[in-house]
Structure 1
Amino acid sequence: MKRDSRKENRKVDGSSSAVDSTAQEPTAQTAFASYAAPLVNEAIAHANAVREDPSPEALHKLRVSLRRLRSLWWAFAPLLEKGENTRQRALYKYLATAAGKTRDWDIVIQLLTQDDSGVRSGMRDLAPKLEEARGNALATSRETLSNADVKHLLREALTSASKDINTTHERVPLRKFASKRVAASERSLMKRAKRARHARRSNYAAFHDVRKAGKKLRYLLEFFQPVLSGSHKRTLKRLKQVQKRFGTLNDIVASEMLLHDNAALLAGSGDSEAVLHWLHKERKRRMRSAAGLLRKL
């Protein structure tokens, strides 16, 4: 009887705490700033670091933080005024692109200096031109980011979005909201993966869409994992695999395009044709690898 009584008391206590936790469950509106503010601070810190640190890592961190902000704004889009949300996401894309112009040269240099297929041995004449192009791009990136006043823009975007979200009358439980947005992102990924599976092998845009959709879903799972039901470790592991394989493909395609677009800069170098030929072969190989992974999604 005492044991049963203790069980009953535990049931009552448990139900009471469940009611309390439900009553105290945060809403998507109140939680927004707790997600957005740290990301904004992080992006500002990385933007400041780029002014002093010319390394590839500094630019990469800035791009990632801006991509994560763009994904978060996408997640909260149903609670934001459509036009304002579109403008703010475009802002994050613009800033990431500014940093990306230098990052693209970093990728070219890294690819060609780490290659063991014979191209690396012929880099002696080409390397100084690539480094010069990278230096010019860095100066432009820094000037663009400085003129944009990143700190002011991001703080203003956060204030505006927070105000917009918290003026809505209907409150949505965070758990329910997060589940719906993750599900929407997952459907988007599956739709793009299906399209890429049926696309021509030369249709890189379809593969690139899969990469972007996978990255967005990964960021959302990382944001909302604490409030989502069930474990998403396997999904995150698979998404990281997609991101890695499709990312290496993107590096090759972007590098090939960058060198083609700057053919005049590289004119006179006996190695440029060999480099482009190697990149073309690598693109085909990595497209096959990405296509193989697509079939497992």
Structure 2
Amino acid sequence: MDMDGDWPLPRPNTLIKVGRRLPGSALTGTSSIASTFSSLATPVIVDAVQRAKELATKSDAEGFHQLRISFRKLRALYWAYSPYLGEEVTAHATEEFRQLAEVAGGTRDWDIAGELLEVAKEKRASIELLVTAAREKRAQAVVHSQTVISGVDVEAFLNDVLLRAQTTLESRCNDLPIRAFAEERVRLAQRALKKRSRRAARSESVAEEELHDVRKAGKKLRYLLEFFQPVIKGEYGRKIKELASVQDKLGQFNDIAASEALIRSTTFNEVPPEVVLESLQWLEKQKCRRMRAASRRVRAMGG
């Protein structure tokens, strides 16, 4: 990922105070599609804005991680409402959310890599040099994330995209009830997860990309179930827990794979190449082990 690339965010025309709830009704099966969108999106936006303000002066890795999750949830929500938002509006908003999520996640990525290298250091003391270098890269990532986030008026931007979406939905589906629509979008997300899981399960050797696709599809379904659980029929609490369990296994694999890719793509001027190679060899072994565990869960789900 090119963290230094330029990607201008749209400047807002209208600002809504985030602390105030947008017009909408309580979440029930008879609520309109339009009013339910604002009810679901507003709490996520409130959380994102608060975290963005805190991270302007703090370097809390968990804060950056939670901000990334907020943007991922917004991507899932915009996908859910895309039939009425339209392809162009959805694609534009979700791309902006994706880029902001990547910026927010830069610090967290180095934290994960650093934690893994600390474990590797217990086996190979020479990796200490790379551990120190990773701490420096983490500090640089903090500055970069804070600079980008501070340069974007996150509150104005999020309120603007929310207002635009709300206006569009009110003009297209203000009188349509949410329940049938929500159930259909959840079914589509379930179908996508099952398709990706079965594709991975049929492979003799599950590829990293296939696991990544399953992970993304599982996250989308989980977020949608969390959003729509109050308005759809059925008890999905157990399903959400199952998805969380699978995501945990896939997340452990992803941490290793992402850390390996991060170290491979980074230049460490003060670290001998053989030390970097040694760390990559250790990460490769750990990745294979976690990949087998993740593959077993995916095969079970696909079966």
- The TM-score bracket by the shorter chain reads 0.7 to 0.9
- What is the match of residue 147 of structure 2? 143
Cα deviation per residue 1:112-163 (whole Å; 9 max; x = unaligned)? 22458614x4443222211111111111111111222211111110010000
Q: Which runs of 5+ in 2 are unaligned?
A: 1-27
Query: 1:155: which partner in 2?
Result: 159
The whole-number CA distance in structure 1 between the counterparts of 2:45 and 2:161 is 9
Q: 1:236 — aligned with what?
A: 240
Map 1:29-48 to 2 at 5 A.
Answer: 29-48=34-53
Please name the residue that 2:15 is paired with.
Answer: none
Match of 1:67?
72
Mark the runs of 5 or more structure 1 residues left unpaired by the alignment: 1-22
Which residue, out of 229, 248, 260, partners 2:264? 260
Q: Distance in 2 between matches of 1:252 and 1:225?
A: 32
Of 214, 219, 235, the residue aligned with 1:210 is 214
What residue in structure 1 maps to residue 286 of structure 2?
282
> Could you report, residue by residue, the CA deviation over 1:158-189 in whole angstroms, capped at 9, with x for unpaired residues?
01000010011573211111111110100010
- Aligned twin of 1:8: none
The CA deviation at 1:234 is 2.2
Structure 1: distance between partners of 2:194 and 2:269:
41
State how 1:73-88 maps to structure 2 within 5 Å: 73-88=78-93
Distance 1:251 1:51, change over 3 A: same
SS of aligned partner of 2:171: coil
Larger radius of gyration: 1
Per the alignment, do residues 60 and 45 of structure 1 end up closer, same or farther by CA in structure 2, a change over 3 Å counting? same
How far the C-alpha of 1:53 sits from its partner, in A, is 1.6
- Shift of the 200–146 alpha-carbon distance from structure 1 to 2, 3 Å rule, reads farther
Measured on the aligned residues, the alpha-carbon RMSD in Å equals: 2.0
Query: In 2, Cα distance between the equivalents of 1:123 and 1:228?
Result: 52
The counterpart of 2:231, out of the listed 224, 227, 237, is: 227
Could you tell me which residue of structure 1 aligns to residue 182 of structure 2?
178
Task: Give the equivalent residue in structure 2 for 1:192.
Answer: 196
SS at match of 1:271: helix
AA paired with 2:162? L
Indicate if the aligned counterparts of 1:125 and 1:269 stay in contact, CA closer than 8 A: no
1:19 paired residue number:
none
Deviation at 1:24, TM superposition (A): 8.7
Counterpart of 1:85, as a letter, is T
Rounded to whole Å, the distance in 1 between the matches of 2:252 and 2:148 is 27
Report the Cα distance in structure 1 between the residues aligned to 2:237 and 2:95, rounded to whole angstroms: 31
Say whether 1:92 aligns with 2:105: no
CA contact (8 A) 1:66 1:95 kept: yes
Q: Which amino acid aligns with 1:64?
A: I
Counterpart for residue 112 of structure 1: 117
**Structure 2 residue matching 1:296: 3-state secondary structure:** helix
Deviates more, 1:259-268 or 1:33-42: 259-268
Correspondence 1:44-63 to 2 at 5 A: 44-63=49-68
Contact 1:129 1:265 in 2 (8 A): no
Matches of 2:29 and 2:292, distance apart in 1:
50
2:300 maps to 1:292 = no
